[in-house]
Amino acid sequence: MNEMNRKTLKPRAPQQGAPQMRIRPMAPILPPSNIQGNALIVVIAIMAFLACLTLGAVSMVRATAASWQSQISREITIQIKPEDGLDMNAALNKARNLALGFVGTREGTIMDDAATSRLLEPWLGSGLDLSELPVPRLVIITIDENNPPDFEAMRAMLKTEIPQAFLDDHRTWVDRLVSMAHTTVMIGVGVLVLVFTAMVLTVIFATRGALSGNRHIVEVLHFVGAESGFVAREFQKHFLKISLKGSGAGSAVAAFVFLAAGFWQSRSLATPQSDQATALFGSFSVGIDGYLGILMTMIIISLLTTITARMTVIRTIDEIDRIRSDPSKSDGL
């Protein structure tokens, strides 16, 4: 009897040719790609490109200003104006020896006639006869940046010993460079804030547009028991993919621009255009720190987009709940 029961309870083998049940995969709330999504990718790519370009430009200007400041602060200049009866060579040597007598000076270099002619050649042309021109002669003193000499005492001694001498410690230029670097950084930060603000507003409008287009689906899911966190996660995943595509494309284009500019600069060395660009902007290479900054900008843009989308969805669902509880509060949602 037990054996018969076991035979009776034995499950039947599936019949040949019978259709098997398949679970249909759940479709996402938002379509993987649509016109709005593609447009948002383009907008985020443009924002990321502008942000990375601004970040790289600020980095280059800061590096150039720091290089200028370091070069200027390592040297001081003694100018000696020519006068009738003044032995210029003796005055130059005396000024150099007086300056090197102070603690904090390292070496002194007298600019000879050839060096002075090269310095004036871009403005006055070649073949200058300095004996016929009232051109001041220069003595360049290299100083210790960490332990600079007493400039006021040096200036007073030079004025007493050589009345025609004037000491220039370049403080005015250093202060201007520091001010310029700070102003450039502040402008760059302002541009970055504007770019990020525009991107956040764009994502808010895009999220609200996606909610409006899929409002009936969101309401059905919400009212059958789906929590707002679940709906927010679906939108969050959707906009995270969009932001990664857009910010990745924009950051890649910005990195390519810096690479191309650096390649052009390296291939056009010793040309007037390259020399002028290098003198004004320094090297176009942003270095490893610059590329890390571009990567961080891409990550920040993606996080901002994702967080903005999530907060917008949760707020919109809360507004739907308030309207359902009190239809008089409807404001056109």
Q: How far apart are CA 63 and CA 54, in angstroms?
A: 14
| 187, 216: one domain | yes
| 102, 222: one domain | no
| 291, 183: one domain | yes
Give the number of domains in the chain. Answer: 2
Q: Is the pLDDT of residue 309 over 90?
A: no
143-152 average pLDDT score: 85
For residue 327, is it within any domain? no
Its domain, for residue 179, covers 35-69+174-322
| 214, 293: one domain | yes
- Find the range with the poorest average confidence among 19-28, 161-170, 212-221: 19-28
CA 66 and chain centroid, separation:
16
What are the structure tokens assigned to 202, written together?
């764009």
44-60 average pLDDT score: 86
Measure the N-to-C terminal CA separation of the chain; round to a whole number of Å.
70
| 228, 122: one domain | no
Q: List alpha helices for the chain, DSSP H.
A: 2-9, 35-73, 88-100, 113-124, 151-161, 171-213, 215-223, 228-267, 272-281, 287-325
| 125, 196: one domain | no
| 105, 195: one domain | no
- Mark which of 118, 139, 163 sits at the end of a domain: 163
- Select the more confidently predicted residue: 106 or 11: 106
The pTM assigned to this predicted structure is 0.64
Average pLDDT, the chain: 77
